[in-house]
Amino acid sequence: MDRVIRIGLLGCGTVGAGVVTILDREADDLAARTGARLQVTRVAVRDTTIDRGLPLPAEVFTDDPMAVVEADDVDLVVEVIGGRDLAGTLVRRALELGKPVVTANKELIAHEGPELAEAARAGGVDLAYEAAVAGAIPIIKPLKESLAGDRVTRVVGILNGTTNYILTRMTEEGAAYADVLSEAQALGFAEADPTSDVGGHDAASKAAIIASLAFDTTVHAADVFREGIEQVSATDIEVASRLGYVIKLLGIASEIDDEVAVRVHPTFLPKAHPLAGVRESFNAVYVEAEAAGELMFYGRGAGGMPTGSAIVGDVIDVARNLLQQAPGPFPSSHRRKRLRPIEDLQTQYYVLLDVEDEPGVLAEVARTFGDHTVSIAQVWQEGSGDTAQLVLITHRAREGDLRTCVDALEASSAVRKVTSVLRVESEVWE
Ligand SMILES: NC(=O)c1ccc[n+]([C@@H]2O[C@H](COP(=O)([O-])OP(=O)(O)OC[C@H]3O[C@@H](n4cnc5c(N)ncnc54)[C@H](OP(=O)(O)O)[C@@H]3O)[C@@H](O)[C@H]2O)c1
């Protein structure tokens, strides 16, 4: 086989090293599947002096990523530098030069996906990003291609490994959030600055990408309603467990009456739901479609080799298309659908209140809920005296009504503090 596809690799950190390792280890099989040998000819890094222990000659490394994109001996660009500005400039330039791009950059795709897809279309080349959502798990291709003939109605995902690890430890050990986060940081499962993960930003980027593909529309990361896990307490987890739920950070995208709703938040999920058993740092995506019914995709959402696997899969696709001089399917000519505001969400809620332990308190709390058309499904008191707490589960209510109800509870003399409000997604799976 004398045909060669020459790859320019932008970044050679955790994921880039995984890509290089797979391309080297599986070289013969990949060549047979692709119809050409896949050769890394240029690699951009910040520090060219580090010995990365990879099967690459020293002369392929450069600290000039644009030179990699523009090099004559680069046919296909793999972007694993990360971040938005530089990566965006490099990806746009590659597409403009008619070079296909494979990227793992969820942040870039979630913020500029439609514009970059348009640039790819204009350049007549592929832009592939399977690795950008849930690492090794194939979910982009199933949504874009395998399910293109069906109507997807809802996608629910555990899209962030760090938060799933933290919530798993809290659930199984009864530990407090802050303690588990410190442990996860010491073990390298959480970043020194964990905001992107624990605040739900990372999951929101992935949910935006999923929603855009699932519902043939444009959803940017900023359109996603987002709440992180920072406020989830050991008490919330214990109450959830007693009621038959686990708490998971879910990305939920659904289409209702031609409107798209996308949200990421900690959620009470029935223990019997298939996603409830997804433990530790694993990711999973649960898809509901009209004809196909329910599908579940499960696996490692991060790590150099798992993410590298998704990237190399894309590289093969893109390389084949390059050989045939025919780019793969472009995104459909979607139309922008209206985004349903979070206030119009209808779901059940769990509410935990610190209350005065006095006669009449329960009646006043119940009246406040009733005044805001939020009906109570279950209520009971925990503790007494200074530690009296009311736990309430509502029937399905409108989020906007629930919020004004919470404001009224906070102003009520019967309530010392509204400690927790979490959404209960029993209708995710009935
Ligand atoms: N890590 C995962 O498990 C995972 C999973 C899914 C998706 N992703 C995505 O994959 C991308 C890469 O993640 P990563 O974990 O591999 O990051 P990383 O380990 O920090 O690697 C980044 C690489 O880019 C290079 N780089 C950064 N800025 C540069 C610049 N200005 N010029 C030249 N080279 C530059 C770095 O060079 P030096 O090595 O010299 O510093 C490094 O090799 C991100 O978009 C991330 O969101 C990661």
Report yes or no: 426 and 366 within 8 Å, Cβ to Cβ.
no
* Cα–Cα dist 381/384, whole Å: 8
106 a catalytic residue: no
> What confidence score (pLDDT) does residue 428 get?
46
Confidence of residue 334 (pLDDT cuts 50, 70, 90): low
Scanning 215-343, the segments in alpha helix (DSSP H) are 234-242, 304-323
For ligand 1, residues with CB inside 6 Å are 11-16, 44-47, 63, 65, 80-82, 86, 104-106, 131, 135, 302-303, 307
Give the whole-number percent of the chain exceeding pLDDT 70.
98
CATH number of 140-300: 3.30.360.10
Residue 387 has pLDDT above 60, yes or no: yes
Q: Which of 2-11, 175-184, 313-322, 330-339 has the lowest mean pLDDT?
A: 330-339
> What confidence score (pLDDT) does residue 430 get?
34
pLDDT, one tens digit per residue, over 225-244 is 999 999 999 999 999 999 99
Residue 228 Cα to ligand 1 middle (Å): 24
Please tell me the CATH superfamily of domain 342-428, with its number.
Answer: ACT domain (3.30.70.260)
Mean pLDDT calculated for residue range 17-37: 97
Tell me which residue has its CA closest to atom 39 in ligand 1.
13
Exposure letters 115-129 (e unless 16+ CB within 10 A, then b): ebbebbeebebbbbb
pLDDT, one tens digit per residue, over 120-137 is 999 999 999 999 999 999
* Cα–Cα dist 111/100, whole Å: 19
Domain boundaries, the chain: 4-136+304-323, 140-300, 342-428
Among residues 268, 420, 399, 402, which one has the least CA distance to residue 354? Answer: 420
This prediction has a pTM of 0.95
Scanning 354-398, the segments in alpha helix (DSSP H) are 361-371
Residue 229 Cα to ligand 1 middle (Å): 26
Which residues make beta-bridge pairs with 270?
245
> What confidence score (pLDDT) does residue 207 get?
97
Mean pLDDT calculated for residue range 161-185: 95
Among residues 125, 73, 72, which one has the least CA distance to residue 102? Answer: 125
Whole-angstrom CA distances from 258 to 131, 226, 255 are 29, 22, 6
Domain 4-136+304-323, what architecture?
A: 3-Layer(aba) Sandwich (3.40)
Strand residue runs (E) in 56-138: 61-62, 76-79, 101-103, 127-128
Report yes or no: 151 and 291 within 8 Å, Cβ to Cβ.
yes
Mean pLDDT calculated for residue range 276-282: 96
Mean pLDDT calculated for residue range 14-21: 97
Residue 310 has pLDDT above 50, yes or no: yes
pLDDT, one tens digit per residue, over 99-112 is 999 999 999 999 99
* Cα–Cα dist 15/129, whole Å: 13
Q: Is 362 exposed, middle or buried (0-12, 13-18, 19+ CB in 10 A)?
A: middle
From 99, 144, 206, 248, the catalytic residue: 206
Mean pLDDT calculated for residue range 12-33: 97
